[in-house]
């Protein structure tokens, strides 16, 4: 592409409808059986420019903690660029800006979404034509949640979460998301899981019953089957999350749940109207930020650009 070509790629936040966690493997990662769903809370990554130089900017929404995002080469977008460039024996180059609406360290895989979107955008900008299998392998190297951010929809994750298979989903699922002003560290929550459950089975609990409810598309059938094995450790570290979940359920949510390693809490609703009513009720009693999103939405995909 030419000097002024630009490409914008959108990637979504995820929630885990089922997060079954097993005892840690020899490499320290926990074996998972998880059911991911991509929801309509998205970051947009725009890549432009050619040789030389690399520049990364983050443009964040009011509810996103900009101070918690590294801008150096540890940012997962820069890591994605480095791995993709190395794969093609190219120098890292371009100007990348991330319009960020997904809260940081929220259990919503916002960094993973940025990484997936950056891979797709830079692949296009550099005309690198990476195969899907290679893109998924690079994504898995970046983080356990990154392959799902490429694929989106509703999908089963196994291994450490990086082996992703789309599943049947005949529902439109409405969620209220309540982020927290202070993020939580994913490794710290997994470590707390190990402390609370030293006798966990090496085989994570399966998701078969939940997958049947997802396929059937019935929120009332899904609600009692939602499961997150990291919820107890997350609430043990942050008791306010337990209070919030009880509040959301008493205000009428079909079910409240910690998202991934937390601290975002998500509430399943029957419809868009129900979700907006619940969001209004929650806003009146406490949290500063309450979002409504539905799922499932697409994985990282091009939403704009020009050929310069």
Ligand X SMILES: Nc1ncnc2c1ncn2[C@@H]1O[C@H](COP(=O)(O)OP(=O)(O)O)[C@@H](O)[C@H]1O
Give 133's contacts (C-beta < 8 A, 6+ positions apart).
none
Query: Taking CB under 6 A as the rule, does residue 104 contact ligand X?
Result: yes
271 is in an annotated binding site: no
# residues contacting ligand X (CB under 6 A):
20
Q: Is 100 a catalytic residue?
A: no
Residue keyed to tokens 């918690």: 68
Using CB under 6 A, pick the residue from 21, 76, 122, 211 that binds ligand X: 76
Query: Taking CB under 6 A as the rule, does residue 19 contact ligand X?
Result: no
DSSP codes of every residue in 26-67: TTSPPPEEEEEEEEEEEEEEEEE--SS-EEEEEEE-TTS-GG
Sign of the Cα torsion 158, 164, 169, 171 reads: positive
109 is in an annotated binding site: yes
# residues contacting ligand SUD (CB under 6 A):
20
Query: Taking CB under 6 A as the rule, does residue 300 contact ligand X?
Result: no
CB of 3 to ligand SUD, least distance (A): 34
CB of 146 to ligand SUD, least distance (A): 6
Query: Taking CB under 6 A as the rule, does residue 295 contact ligand X?
Result: no
CB of 264 to ligand X, least distance (A): 8
Using CB under 6 A, pick the residue from 20, 31, 94, 110 that binds ligand X: 110
Query: Taking CB under 6 A as the rule, does residue 147 contact ligand SUD?
Result: no
CA-angle at 99, arms to 44 and 104, nearest 5°: 100
DSSP codes of every residue in 191-227: HHHHHH-TT--SSPPP-HHHHHHHHHT-HHHHGGG-E
Query: Taking CB under 6 A as the rule, does residue 145 contact ligand SUD?
Result: yes
**SS3 of residue 265 by DSSP:** strand
Please state, in angstroms and rounded to a whole number, the distance separating the CA atoms of residues 145 and 163: 9
Decide: 183 and 234 in contact? Cβ < 8 Å: no
Q: Is 220 a catalytic residue?
A: no
**Interface segment toward ligand SUD; rule CB under 6 A; list 93-101, 141-149, 201-209, 300-308:** 141-149
CA-angle at 182, arms to 121 and 113, nearest 5°: 15
Query: Taking CB under 6 A as the rule, does residue 231 contact ligand SUD?
Result: no
Q: Which residue is nearest to ligand SUD (CB)?
A: 260
215 is in an annotated binding site: no
CB of 260 to ligand SUD, least distance (A): 2
Decide: 47 and 95 in contact? Cβ < 8 Å: yes
Query: Taking CB under 6 A as the rule, does residue 32 contact ligand SUD?
Result: yes
**SS3 of residue 258 by DSSP:** strand
* Binding residue ranges for ATP: 103-113
Residues binding ligand SUD (CB under 6 A): 16, 19, 29-30, 32, 34, 107-109, 112, 143-145, 160-161, 186-187, 190, 260-261
Q: Which segments are annotated as binding site?
A: 103-113
């Amino acid at each position: 592409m030419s000097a002024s070509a630009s490409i914008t790629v959108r990637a979504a936040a995820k929630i885990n409808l089922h997060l079954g966690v097993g005892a840690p493997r020899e490499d320290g990662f926990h074996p998972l059986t998880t059911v991911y769903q991509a929801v309509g809370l998205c970051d947009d990554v725009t890549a432009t420019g050619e040789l030389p130089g690399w520049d990364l900017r983050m443009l964040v929404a009011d509810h996103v903690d900009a101070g918690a995002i590294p801008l150096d080469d540890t940012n997962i977008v820069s890591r994605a660029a480095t791995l993709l460039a190395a794969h093609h024996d190219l120098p890292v180059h371009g100007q990348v800006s991330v319009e960020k609406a997904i809260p940081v360290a929220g259990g919503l895989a916002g960094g993973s979404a940025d990484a997936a979107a950056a891979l797709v955008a830079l692949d296009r900008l550099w005309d690198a034509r990476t195969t899907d299998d290679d893109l998924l392998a690079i994504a898995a190297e970046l983080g356990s949640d990154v392959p799902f951010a490429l694929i989106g929809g509703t999908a089963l994750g196994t291994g450490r979460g990086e082996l992703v298979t789309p599943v049947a989903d005949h529902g439109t699922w409405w969620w209220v998301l309540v982020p927290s002003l202070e993020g939580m560290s994913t490794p710290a929550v997994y470590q707390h899981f190990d402390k609370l459950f030293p006798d966990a089975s090496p085989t994570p609990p399966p998701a078969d019953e939940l997958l049947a409810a997802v396929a059937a598309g019935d929120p009332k059938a899904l609600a009692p089957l939602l499961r997150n094995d990291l919820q107890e450790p997350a609430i043990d570290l942050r008791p306010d999350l337990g209070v919030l979940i009880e509040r959301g359920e008493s205000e009428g949510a079909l079910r409240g749940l910690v998202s991934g390693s937390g601290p975002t809490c998500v509430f399943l609703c029957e419809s868009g109207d129900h979700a907006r009513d619940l969001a209004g009720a929650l806003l009146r009693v406490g949290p500063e930020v309450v979002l409504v999103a539905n799922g499932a939405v697409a994985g990282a995909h091009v939403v704009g650009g020009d050929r310069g």
